[in-house]
Chain A
Amino acid sequence: MFESLAIGFSAFGDPMVWFALVFGALAGYLIGAIPGLGPSLGVALLIPFTYGMDPVVSIVGLVALYAAAEYGGAITAILINSPGTAAAVATSWDGYPLTQQGRAGEALTVSILSSGAGIFVSTLLLVITAVPLSEFALRFGPGEYFALALVGLSLVAGLSDGSPLKGTVAMGIGLALATIGLDVQTGTPRFTMGNPEFFEGLPLVPVLLGLYALSEVLFMIEDGPSEKLKSTPIGGLLALPVKAILGLKTAILRSSVLGYAIGVIPGAGASIASFVSYAVSKRLSKTPEKFGKGSLEGVASSEAANNSAVAGALAPLLALGIPGSPTTAIMIGALMVQGIQPGPLLFTKSPEIPYTVFVSLWIGVPIMVLIGLAGARIWARVANIPRPAIAAIVAGICYVGAYASHTTMFPVHVMTAFGVLGYILRKLEIPLAPIILALVLGEMMETNFRRALISNKGEWDIFYTSPMTVILILIAILAFALPGLSQLRARRAKAAAL
């Protein structure tokens, strides 16, 4: 293995590889920060530029862009409560409250450091476990995927504070939205109102932009030009980072491992990784009451996890040629243009590809962190821009970003509708997170539930004969029941006290 890693390091004798790494990281950082442009669109847009390049140079650039863009989503999530990707939604829960308390700089610093640490740790895991873990992930059948989706939903049900009933309704809305489009098994159009534009389902990014970013614009309009936020300046370049990392090391390490493990499973991915890690951190934290009100631990957990999921998603791609996420699926296209078809022989046939990816992830960490720390100083001032200007900028970029995501008007219409809906739902105190998560997980849940039954002669025993499925379903039931029970107990105690 060390010899092979040496191949990876030797690639960095070529200045073009360094250029690709730095350029990819910078481009990803900016693309991720623009609402509407996420890692997968970023990689797709960069592919045409890689055509004339050496395969190693292009894969280094693409991986750097992927990792940095997965981080970039955190910036808007923290500053203006507008996560650009589903994976950054959990970051906004604590990041935005921190901004409102004038601690935007601190939140940004913690987010970039946890992201860097996440990539570093998960790449280490990737080098050691890519092949065995990917083989293990093949054992995930439809029953296991269904159970995994249940776990994701149940954890979030426990997260939304406020009325659990409204959380349930929100989840119902999200699951209902996920059923729009052509049915995966039968091809029947469902709830499309006769409009072919709905055939492929609701596009996730415009829904996300509408619910969060556009509804936030309406809240800014309500606030008007008064009440300017003042953000406290960050201290010296190293003072805060060292302190922050030391205090958060357990949360970061745990979330990195969790994020990597979830990322390896094809079809799971960064958003589930960040939600689950956030939920686990909240449950195990010494100060769970701070979560959702500006906890640095929350920001660190979500960010470490969604960046570790990048390395996780690369594992089945490099080991087996099976993409672990939509972004890695697009990377297969980029490699194919170069005449490389990723598959189980990649490690033996062209070892320079996987090992250069490993090494570039490591070398990329300090570069990404430096860009991020420098950027945090600039971004933190966004909080000082007058509110009307922010409202106009957010709305303008959302419209262009939504259009660019499909280069048609359909996502723009979807985003606008969800902007108004999001505003009404927030006024009625219906939480948005269960809607988004249910929209992300809904199709995975239904498809795999039905696939499990169809491939098992319609017998239900597929859900209780596999140990992995049973364990996942038990976790889901516990996660659903625990918050309800503890709430009930608290109410009883209160009643007894009266």
Chain B
Amino acid sequence: MEDYKKALGWRLRWDVVRGSLPVLDLIGCAALLAVFWQYYAQARALPAPLNQIDIGAGGFPTLLAVATLIAIVAVAVSAVVRVLDPVPVTWVSVRRPLYVLATVGLLVLQSIYFEQLGTLPSVLMFAFLTMLACGERRPLHLIGVPFALGAFIYVVFNLALAVNLP
């Protein structure tokens, strides 16, 4: 295994994904530009106010969109400068990328099925899977922690606070 903190260079492997920050910045800027352009278009389309002295629903968002678009372009320009600069760039790595992706999937699934499954079953199941994704392999831990968590949630939310949980 290599030392991730100091390692350099592009990687796309099962145990690590790595890229240089300025290049990733450019990708991020492109995404943000698209989002804020959309925001700007929607802000412009908002109806004018009935009250003449109000700047209207779209006034502040339009101003904000323009300012943020300028800032995004500035970040992009500074990223380009850094790519061209001979000074070494910062590297960003994502370790265990498959597990991270799997956990993102778990979070999304949980947000979709939380209500249908009911609180306790979904807490038990997803706690188990999250621990598995985080690399826990000891069976006692894998079973004990979700049950302890479920019991805690039941006591605090259902019994003590009387929240209506599904």
Direct contact of A and B (CB under 8 A): yes
Which residues in A have some Cβ–Cβ distance to B below 8 Å?
27, 30-31, 34, 37, 45, 48, 163, 165-166, 168-169, 172-173, 175-176, 179, 183, 185-186, 188, 190-191, 214, 217-218, 220-226, 386-389, 391-393, 395-397, 399-400, 403-404, 407, 409, 412-413, 415-416, 419-420, 423-424, 427-430, 446, 449-450, 453-454, 457-458
Interchain CB contact (< 8 A) of B165 among A389, A403, A423, A428: A403
Q: Decide yes or no: A407 and B60 within 8 Å by CB, A169-B68, A416-B107, A428-B24 being known contacts.
A: no
CA distance A217 to B78 in the complex (A): 31
Q: How distant is B19 from chain A, measured CB to nearest CB, in Å?
A: 10
Chain A residues with CB under 8 Å of B149's CB are 392-393, 396-397
Task: Identify which of residues 64-117 in chain B touch chain A, using a CB-to-CB cut-off of 8 Å.
Answer: 64-65, 67-68, 71-72, 74-75, 78, 90, 92, 94-96, 99-100, 103-104, 107-108, 110-111, 114-115
Nearest chain A CB to B158 CB, angstrom units: 10
Known: A221-B99, A429-B21. 9 other contacts (CB 8 A): A190-B58, A217-B107, A221-B133, A222-B94, A392-B130, A395-B110, A396-B153, A407-B164, A458-B53
Ranked 7 nearest A-B pairs via Cβ: A172-B68, A458-B53, A388-B136, A388-B134, A225-B135, A416-B111, A183-B57
Q: Across the interface, do A188 and B47 meet the contact criterion of CB distance under 8 Å? A: yes
- Tell me the total A-B contact number using a CB cutoff of 8 A: 207
Instruction: Choose from A173, A218, A393, A396 the contact partner of B68 (Cβ within 8 Å).
Output: A173
**In the bound complex, do residue B78 and residue A163 qualify as a contact, i.e. CB atoms below 8 Å apart?**
yes
Alpha-carbon gap, A378 to B84, bound state (A):
52
CA distance A172 to B74 in the complex (A): 13
Q: A276 to chain B: closest CB distance in Å?
A: 23
A217 touches B130 (CB 8 A): yes
- Are the CB atoms of B111 and A413 closer together than 8 Å? yes
Q: Please state if A224 and B74 are interface contacts (CB–CB under 8 Å).
A: no
A to B CB contacts below 8 Å, 14 in the list: A169-B71, A172-B64, A172-B72, A176-B65, A191-B39, A217-B103, A222-B99, A224-B134, A392-B128, A393-B145, A397-B149, A399-B123, A416-B108, A446-B60
A396 adjacent to B123 (CB under 8 Å): yes
- Across the interface, do A188 and B57 meet the contact criterion of CB distance under 8 Å? yes
Q: A30-B156, A45-B163, A416-B107 are in contact. Are A386 and B61 (CB under 8 A)?
A: no
Give Cα A41–Cα B114 distance, bound, in whole angstroms.
21
How far is A416 from B67 in the complex, measured between Cα atoms in Å?
28
Most chain B Cβ neighbours within 10 Å, of A400, A415, A423: A400
Which residues does chain A contribute within 8 Å of B133, judged by CB atoms?
Answer: 221
Q: Are B130 and A388 in contact (CB under 8 A)?
A: yes
Contact among A168, A389, A453 for B141, CB-based, below 8 A: A389
Interface readout for B119-156 with A: 1 if CB under 8 Å, 0 if not? 10011001110111111110001000110010001001
User: Which residues of chain A are within 8 angstroms of B72 by Cβ–Cβ distance?
Assistant: 169, 172
- Assess whether B32 is interfacial by the CB under 8 Å rule: yes
For the residues of A in contact with B, the DSSP-based class is helix
Closest to A187 in B: B57
A446 to B119, CA, bound (A): 39
A404 vs B64: C-alpha distance when bound (angstroms): 33
Specify which chain A residues have a CB less than 8 angstroms from the CB of B68 in the assembled complex: 168-169, 172-173, 175-176
Contact with A along B21-37 (1 / 0, CB 8 A): 10011001000100010
Chain B positions 43 through 61: 1 when the CB is less than 8 Å from some CB of chain A, otherwise 0: 1001101111111111111
Contact A218 B163 (CB under 8 A): no
Question: Nearest chain-B residue to A415 (Cβ)?
Answer: B111
Docked complex Cα distance between A32 and B39 (Å): 36
Q: Is B10 an interface residue, CB under 8 A from the partner? A: no
Shortest A95–chain B CB gap in Å is 23
Q: In the complex, what's the smallest C-beta–C-beta distance from B51 to chain A, in angstroms?
A: 7
Q: Nearest CB to that of A407 among chain B residues?
A: B164
B49 touches A185 (CB 8 A): yes
Q: Tell me, in angstroms, the Cα distance from A223 to B134 when the chains sit together.
A: 8
Closest to A400 in B: B153
Contact of B57 among A185, A393, A430, A454 (CB under 8 A): A185
Residue contact B57 to A221, C-beta cutoff 8 Å = no
Most chain A beta-carbon neighbours within 10 Å: one of B95, B111, B128: B111
Least Cβ distance of A494 to chain B in Å? 13
Residues of A within 8 A of B159 (CB): none
Q: Which of B21, B115, B164 contacts A428 (CB 8 A)?
A: B21
Question: Is there contact, CB below 8 Å, between B110 and A416?
Answer: yes
CA separation between A45 and B160, bound complex, in Å? 10
A399 touches which of B50, B94, B110 (Cβ 8 Å)? B110
Question: Which chain A positions have C-beta within 8 A of B58?
Answer: 190
